[in-house]
Amino acid sequence: MTFDIAAYLRRVGLKTCSPDLGGLKSLQAAQIGAIPFENVLPFLAKVPVLDPDSLWQKLVIQRCGGYCFELNALLGDALAALGFSARQVLARVRMGAAEGGARTHLAFVVTLDGDEWLVDAGFGGQAPAHPVRVSTGEQQIRDQVYRIRFEESSAEHVLERKTEDGWFPLYGFDRVDVRHADIEAANYLCATSPNQSFAASMKFYRLTETGFISFLDGRARLVGKDGKREWQIRDVDELTGFMRQDIGLGYGNDVIEAIAERLKQLRLTPAPG
């Protein structure tokens, strides 16, 4: 399909986007704010389809969201259409661990005026709202501080977020050539493996102008300039309102009812051990 950049920009709420650093920052934040991170399909035992037509229908026309292989595939098409020089990278998620597992996260490295920038609209919570320069220097992005350090032992660049306890590694990526087959395999692994969280937990995340809205297995959270609020989503009606109004997803009633039923089953299932 021919990528309709005008329709995409309308979907993410931008009138224009220039192929420079300012445009790149606006683009990443706009997509994270308009197209939420969510794993509805894996949670309902389905593997997301990654061909461009299917992604366009789901993310743009139906106004649903997705996880990294969906969200960043769409972002990659937009980067190409806008004239950015972007290269795919597959990352090993760490989330505080000393090293990552399989390459299960898709992102991009964009080169601008000789500098490299990590561009990612598909990681969900704790991810930066704007691109991060591939550099060990600290970078303030909204109310968080990030850096990307090179790790000799793994030959990976590691994205880290600064916390009260020190630097927290989010994921590490290398420069191995990424092929379509690699992405298909990682997508299938993420959607079906019991060792990944996507099939076992329901997650939503959307960036706002002053914070974010998130959800994990029935627990909703709003963080913004007026503070934090947490509440429980208790039934299908509350879930419908939250998904459509707070997160901005276009799923039909049948899908929302299926999510509510699966969440109910999770609550009723005794914890192992």
Please state the domain extents for the chain: 5-173, 196-268
Average pLDDT, the chain: 96
22-42 mean pLDDT:
98
pLDDT of residue 272: 61
- Rounded CA-CA distance 132/202 in Å is 28
Lowest mean pLDDT among 62-71, 86-95, 133-142, 263-272: 263-272
Q: Which of 105, 130, 157, 190 is catalytic?
A: 105
226 is catalytic: no
pLDDT of residue 136: 86
Phi-psi region of 262 (alpha: psi -120 to 50; beta: other; left: phi over 0): alpha
Residue with tokens 């591939």: 134
Is pLDDT above 80 for 178?
A: yes
* CATH for the 196-268 domain, from 3.40.50.11740, 3.30.1330.10, 1.10.10.200, 3.30.2140.10: 3.30.2140.10
105 is catalytic: yes
pLDDT of residue 2: 87
120 is catalytic: yes
- Torsion sign, CA atoms 215, 93, 91, 169: positive
Q: Which of 17, 64, 68, 190 is catalytic?
A: 68
Q: Do 196-268 and 5-173 fall under one CATH topology?
A: yes
pLDDT of residue 256: 98
- Rounded CA-CA distance 215/62 in Å is 21
The runs of H, that is alpha helices, within the chain are 5-12, 21-34, 40-43, 52-55, 68-82, 180-192, 236-241, 253-268
pLDDT of residue 23: 98
pLDDT of residue 92: 98
CATH classification code of 5-173: 3.30.2140.20
Q: Which of 77, 120, 130, 190 is catalytic?
A: 120
Nearest to 106 by CA among 145, 131, 75, 133: 75
106-123 mean pLDDT:
97
Residues 203-255 pLDDT 10s: 999 999 889 999 999 999 999 888 899 999 999 999 999 999 999 999 999 99
